[in-house]
Amino acid sequence: MRAGITGIAPWRDIVQAAGVEKAGNMIRAAGLTVTCYCRAGLFPAADEAGRRAALDDNRRAVDEAAAIGARSLVLIAGGLPKGSKDIAGAWRQVHDGIAALLPHALDAGVPLAIEPLHPMYAADRACVNTLEQALDLCDALDPAGSGVPGGDAQARAALGVAVDLYHVWWDPKLEAQIARAGKERLLAFHVCDWLAKTRDLLEDRGMMGDGVIEIPKIRAWVEAAGFTGYSEVEIFSSLDWWKRPADEVLTTCIERHRTAV
């Protein structure tokens, strides 16, 4: 808040470590908007017991998201179960898992935001890799685009997508799929940059302006589709930004948000 940042997207491990109720109170006391809760999903499993455990955990994540007032819960699909090569089967498990979770999310008033991850994570993290695949799931599972109760300024579908530039910037269908999502299904917008020489596939994201993504162009597509939510800076960077003083990182994020987003 000192830096003028008014939204936050907390991760589950941190909220759980603090205690869900206490974390919710701290966030409310600080006057922060919880843009989204990161993250749940990871549906595929090798057997029925594993799938049931994943679903139970996802239901708990919905409850935690509701308790901290999150505007959405981010879902990543999950990859191949151990020993499996059946990516189509994994995709069906994701479909069935979200179908089973959706009624609980509707009851709790927490929209589910499917975040497609870059195809390099298809085996181990997420077999939903493009915005098109994520929207196909939305259309299959919630064709009517049910809204969440509560009446926000911004209409939100109960099932939508999180657009993270790191994962989708390369996609030739991106503009068309953002338009297809529309403002109801666009639940979150994550920004960072793609470094041409990426040294680590997970933790070497670039600061906005340091890489090759045409960020203002994509932001304009998202806004043209009607999105009025936050741009959330998400920079996993154990090789660089996580090593720097927090004040420097925040100052740079804010400055780059003005000049490069």
Q: Which residues bind Zn ion (CB under 5 A)?
A: 164, 190, 234
| Between 104 and 118, CB nearer to Zn ion | 118
Count of Cβ atoms closer than 10 Å to residue 150 Cβ: 9
**Cα 174 to Cα 151: distance, rounded to the nearest angstrom:** 29
* Closest residue by Cα to residue 78 from 89, 62, 92, 94: 94
Smallest gap from residue 259 Cβ to Zn ion (A): 22
Report the greatest alpha carbon distance in the chain: 50
| Residue 191 phi, psi dihedral angles, 5° rounding | -120, 145
Smallest gap from residue 234 Cβ to Zn ion (A): 5
| Between 175 and 234, CB nearer to Zn ion | 234
| Between 106 and 161, CB nearer to Zn ion | 161
Q: Evaluate whether 138 touches 161 at the Cβ level (below 8 Å).
A: yes
Smallest gap from residue 83 Cβ to Zn ion (A): 28
Smallest gap from residue 25 Cβ to Zn ion (A): 26
Smallest gap from residue 190 Cβ to Zn ion (A): 4
* Closest residue by Cα to residue 133 from 187, 95, 164, 166: 95
| Between 183 and 190, CB nearer to Zn ion | 190
Q: Evaluate whether 62 touches 107 at the Cβ level (below 8 Å).
A: no
| Between 51 and 205, CB nearer to Zn ion | 205
* Closest residue by Cα to residue 181 from 193, 191, 189: 189
Residue nearest Zn ion by beta-carbon distance: 164
Smallest gap from residue 149 Cβ to Zn ion (A): 26
| Between 190 and 256, CB nearer to Zn ion | 190
Q: Using CA atoms in the order 182, 108, 121, 94, what is the torsion angle rounded to 10 degrees?
A: -90
Contacts made by residues 11-15, CB under 8 angstroms, sequence distance 24+: 11/38, 11/39, 12/37, 12/38, 12/39, 12/40, 12/61, 12/64, 15/64, 15/68
To which H or E segment does residue 189 belong? strand 186-191
Smallest gap from residue 96 Cβ to Zn ion (A): 24
| Between 36 and 157, CB nearer to Zn ion | 36
